């Protein structure tokens, strides 16, 4: 094999470097997908081969109550898609309610320690929106689901008598890096790929955890030497991000 020209490693907040083996495999699919003689970008979306490809992706750990949709556009587009679709649903459920009285709950994930203790959701919101992983702040929700974990999403505070629960989550920054807690209780989960994560669930959850510990160990060493200060302090009521590390 000739010398690789894919040698630049960047750590941006959006798309990042992929393993060269993954890029080569993707190139093969663009030229000849699974021995069909044509590329995946050329194959008919109603063909048996493309259907088999989609079914392979849909074999992920997703409950039968949910479906996987592949759509164009990025995560920002989904902000509008969520509002338009779930507000339309709310209007069908409550046709006599004035638009000025329709409520959309957004969870601001800057301070996890106070979130679980004080946050109260509206009794009948059009939807409840949260971002699982905030790359700008360097924090994420832990994978816990109980009220005793101040860094987990406060599932225990959600309305108990609303079925299906209009819970919406943005998993763009950590999609496929670990299992999604209470997945079946969500109405919509969207993720704009590719960000930082490579598929794997339990295996890559452990891999990401080991890598994050190494990175945070270096950051801690730099703090002790006065080189920099971590943006998210360990043990201060916030779960540190394993996919996007913030420090000055």
Q: Which pLDDT score, from 0 to 100, does residue 50 have?
A: 87
Burial 159-189 (b: 16+ CB within 10 A, else e): beeeeebbbbbbbbbbbbbbebbeeebbbbb
Q: Which pLDDT score, from 0 to 100, does residue 244 have?
A: 65
Dihedrals phi, psi of 93, to nearest 5 degrees: -75, -35
Q: Which pLDDT score, from 0 to 100, does residue 9 have?
A: 66
Q: Which two tokens stand for residue 107?
A: 């969870």
Nearest of 67, 63, 82 to residue 184 by alpha carbon: 63
Q: Which two tokens stand for residue 213?
A: 């510990």
Q: Which two tokens stand for residue 33?
A: 């997908």
Q: Which pLDDT score, from 0 to 100, does residue 114 have?
A: 41
Rounded to whole angstroms, the Cα distance separating 112 from 236 reads 9
Q: Which pLDDT score, from 0 to 100, does residue 7 have?
A: 66
Rounded to whole angstroms, the Cα distance separating 43 from 37 reads 10
Single pTM value for the model: 0.70
Q: Which pLDDT score, from 0 to 100, does residue 116 have?
A: 36
State the DSSP code for 48: H
Rounded to whole angstroms, the Cα distance separating 48 from 53 reads 9
* DSSP codes of every residue in 112-179: HHHHHHH----SS-SEEEEESEETTTTEE-BS--STT-TTB--GGGS-SS-SS--EEEE-TTTTTSSP
Nearest of 107, 134, 162, 92 to residue 243 by alpha carbon: 134
Q: Which residues of the chain have pLDDT under 70?
A: 1-7, 9-16, 58-60, 109-119, 144-147, 162-164, 193-201, 203, 231-248
């Amino acid at each position: 094999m000739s010398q690789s020209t894919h040698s630049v490693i960047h750590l941006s907040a959006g798309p990042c470097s992929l393993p060269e083996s993954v890029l080569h495999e993707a190139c093969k699919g663009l030229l000849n997908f699974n021995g069909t003689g044509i590329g995946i970008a050329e194959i008919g979306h109603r063909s048996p081969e493309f259907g088999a490809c989609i079914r392979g992706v849909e074999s992920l750990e997703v409950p039968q109550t949910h479906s996987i949709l592949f759509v164009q556009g990025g995560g920002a587009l989904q902000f509008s898609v969520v509002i338009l679709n779930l507000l339309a649903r709310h209007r069908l459920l409550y046709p006599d309610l004035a638009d000025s009285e329709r409520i959309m709950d957004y969870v601001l994930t800057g301070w996890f320690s106070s979130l679980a203790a004080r946050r109260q959701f509206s009794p009948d919101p059009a939807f409840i929106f949260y971002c699982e992983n905030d790359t700008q702040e360097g924090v994420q929700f832990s994978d816990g689901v109980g009220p005793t974990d101040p860094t987990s999403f406060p599932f225990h505070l959600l309305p108990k008598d609303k079925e299906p629960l209009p819970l919406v989550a943005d998993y763009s920054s950590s999609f496929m890096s670990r299992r999604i807690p209470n997945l079946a209780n969500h109405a919509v989960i969207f993720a704009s790929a590719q960000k930082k994560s490579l598929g794997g669930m339990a295996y890559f959850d452990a891999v990401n955890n080991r890598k994050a510990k190494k990175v945070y160990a270096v950051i801690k060493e730099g703090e002790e030497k006065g080189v920099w200060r971590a943006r998210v302090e360990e043990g201060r009521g916030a779960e540190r991000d394993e996919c996007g590390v913030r420090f000055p």
